[in-house]
Structure 1
């Protein structure tokens, strides 16, 4: 029986997979034109699977595919020419053995010994002539070698051969396809320990790879249809695909991971939207290499950390510009994306994980235990007494933050609330954030606790006019969520502010509001 796969290459006979025929067609068009290119996308973004499926497709069209990965090669392989060339030729032979190319194997056996890049240059020329068919070189995991001179020499040799072949003065690969996180058209290389890093461009012959590797709703649907047919399940594929896309923005790993959780951990066969939401909750509470990489990349770069904080906590709307190295770095690691010219966190699951990470770091620095002890907020029927939660939060701010803390509270207020609420709902509840970019830069939090939903809007007080507008927006949001009561927390930084509570009728909705 097939399974959902989130590790390594996906095999059609073994795994439920998204139908990426349209993506492969676009890549095949690049190959037919003889282009060289790099599939540069974040880790766990389907590059290896795409290369596997592409190689199979090319072989059926009578291309000779030489497919290898730099992942398994030792570091020494990229510092010693002779070792690198030996390993490269060995990988070529492995491909030929698997395809039964005895004539080409004999050609390699009879060839003179190779000791440097220049020897490899002439070997490739003779090999291509002997092959008598179009040869495609595919190299996965090129990032491992991208910071050393030998790799640049190798690319430079391929570049020269490509240009000469175009002039009819040499023979070379019909295509060279590299796969990795970085676009090797622009490499940073430190040639000597006392030199600054320099940009090198030995690969400017490569065309821009524009194929969208994330999955759209139709592609996600193809995977779910396969599952539905195989398991004879009852499920609305379109609605489920839209819900999965809503949380993942089509990130390949996250799409497959949610499906895997529903199938194997929740043990559901007939899926509905609530199963997707439960899978999101399970995913956000687990450790995995994808999330570890996400947080590590934010922790390791102060400027990226600050940019992401501005976007998801302060609600800043920043213009997308790929020339900005911080935005470029965030996009390189799959954290940020360009959404209609605005910089956004790539998907809602990443947003939520980052919120949890930021609020947890703040929680460890604040002493809230006298205020947010969970049992104090649970009603006799097990429901959450959310008005009591807000009143206690108001008391916490009033008693713990004086006027001298205004600047800290203005920067951290919303995170403080998230840190305050977390221990109360932990275990039985789930909170999801939705940044609303508006004049108020409000933050909506949808909290599910048992089977009830609590919607809280956090915003900075900017006067009665914006307050009324915010109430209207919250009322509309309650409508979309089919909830009758909402909650509003206004952070008021005026010196003469009043800590107050108020119940407000907004149309047919009731809103409980506090000011802190």
Structure 2
């Protein structure tokens, strides 16, 4: 809407059409006695009179607010509604009992998009709303309760405690993700209520295009600062303390992309978002000039005659890829993207039959554990940066302890060494009764 006149007349027209569909004859007769408003002042009077003759209180629901807030006319409209609401509280005017704004992440963050990027500032034409601090996510116990009810209705015997904890581990209780996982298992996976079934459901969910994932990626692509923040968290294992005064952090928190952990550190909201973002960033890398994976494609024999994935072959092949594709001039890029390259390399190999997620371990070593499930086997692949022999040996001990905690006899260690004179070595190591295949990258 380019003018007040167009906006006001269109608003009244839509209001009338809505009443016609509901056959509100008394309210429709009101329109026959009134001129169509041509300005916001006239629209304000029109709405006051409309509410006055209405039977009962009137609530105005406005949808798609984020999208409409790109137009200054709409922001003027919100400003008018705000003034009317305040005047009504003082008994000076008649207005809507409430105005509900839907399709908006946080009204205080509507921006005047008509200004230049440097001039943009927070705009809050409707800042009256009371604080609404309610955790809408499900706890593991609440998921357990839902599964118990479901199992009872369908006569199923399932490990409710384990399944509820697994679903929560990946979803952090995000309602849409919880319900989607359960729906996929129930309707598309023949009620495979197992840990593998949950992983299969998540894989199918991640293949979908839905508004939740669309909004996630849209916010990353539309905000370079958010993209840089997420890259730091996901790829660099950056440890960042949450600060509500930092615009990028508060914006990412507002969009539901990040959360605060118990130590007030920033983390991605849930593991499903993490995997989606890893997939997004690795896909960008795959189509760039830096990742010619074709000679190392999945057709290479990464599997034995029984179809079991040989992770040592995968890592050795990736080592060949690094040696063959990264010269000293690419060092900066490799240091920045090395671990993402490994994820992008592995994804096509396990695609369709495997599942992965990342467990970050914040420490001086910047460790991440890439957990890969393929077939009936789980692979623990630790990714770490080389900080010298002492820290490296300590890291091997930590990995052995981690393998024990997960009941694994073997593990894998990918060490990213950015020294120019490094040697590309590989070897099996025995550490505290665990076999660890170590590869220097």
Bucket of the pairwise TM-score, normalised by the shorter protein: 0.7 to 0.9
Are residues 1:338 and 2:260 paired? Answer: yes
Q: 1:299 aligns with which of 217, 221, 233?
A: 221
1:377-430 per-residue CA deviation (whole Å, 9 max, x = no partner) reads: 211222122222222322332343344433222112112212222233233322
- Equivalent residues in 2 for 1:312-327, closer than 5 Å: 312-327=234-249
The answer for the alignment partner of 1:65 in structure 2 is none
The answer for the alignment partner of 1:426 in structure 2 is 351
C-alpha distance in structure 2 between counterparts of 1:466 and 1:84, whole Å: 67
Are residues 1:212 and 2:135 paired? Answer: yes
The answer for the alignment partner of 1:235 in structure 2 is 158
C-alpha distance in structure 2 between counterparts of 1:263 and 1:83, whole Å: 46
Compute the RMSD of aligned alpha carbons: 3.1
Are residues 1:80 and 2:7 paired? Answer: yes
Q: 2:276 aligns with which of 353, 372, 391?
A: 353
Query: 8 Å contact 1:359–1:416 — kept in the other structure?
Result: yes
Query: 8 Å contact 2:4–2:40 — kept in the other structure?
Result: no
Q: 1:261 aligns with which of 167, 178, 184?
A: 184
Shift of 1:261: 1.3
The answer for the alignment partner of 2:387 in structure 1 is 462
1:428 and 1:273, CA in 2 relative to 1: closer, same or farther beyond 3 A?
closer
SS, match of residue 235 in structure 1:
coil
Instruction: Tell which deviates more after alignment, 122-131 or 433-442.
Output: 122-131
1:194 and 1:484, CA in 2 relative to 1: closer, same or farther beyond 3 A?
closer
Query: 8 Å contact 1:85–1:117 — kept in the other structure?
Result: no
Are residues 1:249 and 2:172 paired? Answer: yes
The answer for the alignment partner of 2:376 in structure 1 is 451
Query: 8 Å contact 1:78–1:150 — kept in the other structure?
Result: no
Query: 8 Å contact 2:108–2:122 — kept in the other structure?
Result: no
Q: 1:384 aligns with which of 309, 323, 334?
A: 309
1:36-94 per-residue CA deviation (whole Å, 9 max, x = no partner) reads: xxxxxxxxxxxxxxxxxxxxxxxxxxxxxxxxxxxxxx999995211112323544665
SS, match of residue 80 in structure 1:
helix
- Equivalent residues in 2 for 1:101-250, closer than 5 Å: 105=27, 108=30, 112-115=34-37, 116-131=39-54, 133-190=56-113, 197=120, 199-250=122-173
SS, match of residue 435 in structure 1:
strand
Number of residue-to-residue matches in the alignment: 437
C-alpha distance in structure 2 between counterparts of 1:490 and 1:192, whole Å: 47
C-alpha distance in structure 2 between counterparts of 1:446 and 1:76, whole Å: 56
Are residues 1:514 and 2:439 paired? Answer: yes
Instruction: Name stretches of at least 5 consecutive residues in structure 2 with no aligned partner.
Output: none
C-alpha distance in structure 2 between counterparts of 1:192 and 1:402, whole Å: 44
- Equivalent residues in 2 for 1:15-94, closer than 5 Å: 79-91=6-18
1:152 and 1:394, CA in 2 relative to 1: closer, same or farther beyond 3 A?
closer
Compute the TM-score of the two structures, normalised by the length of structure 1: 0.75
**Higher-RCO chain (CA-CA 8 Å, sequence separation at least 6):** 1
Shift of 1:107: 6.6
Q: 2:398 aligns with which of 464, 467, 473?
A: 473
C-alpha distance in structure 2 between counterparts of 1:195 and 1:508, whole Å: 59
C-alpha distance in structure 1 between counterparts of 2:339 and 2:116, whole Å: 45
C-alpha distance in structure 2 between counterparts of 1:484 and 1:140, whole Å: 55
Instruction: Name stretches of at least 5 consecutive residues in structure 1 with no aligned partner.
Output: 1-73
Shift of 1:452: 0.8
Shift of 1:312: 0.1
SS, match of residue 240 in structure 2:
coil
Shift of 1:490: 1.1
1:405 and 1:329, CA in 2 relative to 1: closer, same or farther beyond 3 A?
same
Are residues 1:405 and 2:330 paired? Answer: yes
Compute the TM-score of the two structures, normalised by the length of structure 2: 0.87
Query: 8 Å contact 1:77–1:84 — kept in the other structure?
Result: no
Query: 8 Å contact 1:77–1:87 — kept in the other structure?
Result: no
1:465-505 per-residue CA deviation (whole Å, 9 max, x = no partner) reads: 32233223222322332211101111122344233223333
1:109-129 per-residue CA deviation (whole Å, 9 max, x = no partner) reads: 565334143344334444544
The answer for the alignment partner of 1:273 in structure 2 is 195
